[in-house]
Structure 1
Amino acid sequence: MATEILLNVNGGEYRLAVDLRTTLLDALREQLDLTGTKKGCDLGQCGAYTVLMDGRRVLSCLILAVAAQGAEVTTIEGLAGEHDPLHPMQQAFLEQDAYQCGYCPPGQIISTIACVQEGHAGSADEIREYMSGNLCRCAAYPKIVAAVQQVKPLMEDR
């Protein structure tokens, strides 16, 4: 049975008809065609599906789309400003070569932004601990930490 919901995603409002069991991840990917957020383990363990909801990182594979009503959801596609081609963290990932295959970076980037915004980027050890829920099969972890350390001063000035 489908129900109509209103989602606020990347600054836009979208009216969707979803099954009550539809995850936020599936609504984003299948109905809004926002495929930057990847589908990984569907168990909340890999981090590939991480998005921001009201500025905090959430596991979109474990949240029902109906539960996201009224919240502002930000996906990798919605990070850059209107006049900026990339968010500073996206730019740092490029500059630090903090990606390999391209599968996990969307979730990694979202989580690193939350890491800084939530005050968990005080040291390399703290960054690694906070980011432990995001897996990278290519082992780009040292470069991801370097990207966070590069951007932290810029984000704190925003």
Structure 2
Amino acid sequence: MKVSLTVNGQPVSAECEPRRTLADFLRQDLGYTGVHVGCEHGVCGSCTVTVDGATARSCCLLAVQAEGSDVTTIEGLASGGELDPLQQSFREHHGLQCGFCTPGMLATARELLKDNPDPTDAEIRAAISGNLCRCTGYQFIVDAIKNVKSREAL
């Protein structure tokens, strides 16, 4: 089937099998390797992207379900060679180590900050509770989300 959608502001169209997941379509067919695939059951959060303004587990969606949608991956956050303010905060506050969970954490954090620009630590922890990280112990991620400098740019 032919699937047409917008990824990181660019219209794309490609053929794929009807049973292909959005994660595999983005990674393998379109080359957006920042979409990580961990558990393939929607549990770990590493495949989280933004679809039409809301986070979604791309391993649980079929590519054909995203027909006509606007998808943002981690590759779409930086602009003009400059990191997005949230990416910069993760960098400054050591909110990443191996980086495997980072794309999903960033998508989740952006959605949280859009809905709640000044969350408490408890609200941040609740928001990211569906994203598993085996390296950081989460405190640095919480610090990065809490201390992002340019929230209005998100």
Q: What is the TM-score when the length of structure 1 is the normalising length?
A: 0.92
| Residue identity (%) | 42
Distance 2:19 2:117 in 1: 33
Distance 2:32 2:24 in 1: 10
Q: Assess if the C-alpha contact under 8 Å between 2:85 and 2:153 holds in 1.
A: no
Match of 1:48 among 42, 46, 60: 46
Q: Assess if the C-alpha contact under 8 Å between 2:117 and 2:151 holds in 1.
A: no
Q: Secondary structure at the match of 2:12?
A: strand
Give deviations 1:39-64, integer Å, cap 9, x for gaps.
10001000000001112111000011
Distance 1:142 1:29 in 2: 29
Distance 1:84 1:110 in 2: 19
Q: After TM superposition, where is structure 1 displaced by more than 3 Å over at least 4 residues in a row?
A: none
Q: Secondary structure at the match of 2:87?
A: helix
Cα displacement (A) at 1:11: 0.7
Instruction: Tell me the residue number matched to 1:57.
Output: 55
Question: 2:90 aligned with 1:93, yes or no?
Answer: yes
Cα displacement (A) at 1:118: 2.1
RMSD across aligned C-alpha pairs, in angstroms?
1.5
Runs of 5+ consecutive residues of structure 2 not aligned to the other structure: none
Q: What is the TM-score when the length of structure 2 is the normalising length?
A: 0.94
Q: Assess if the C-alpha contact under 8 Å between 1:49 and 1:60 holds in 2.
A: yes
Cα displacement (A) at 1:157: 6.3
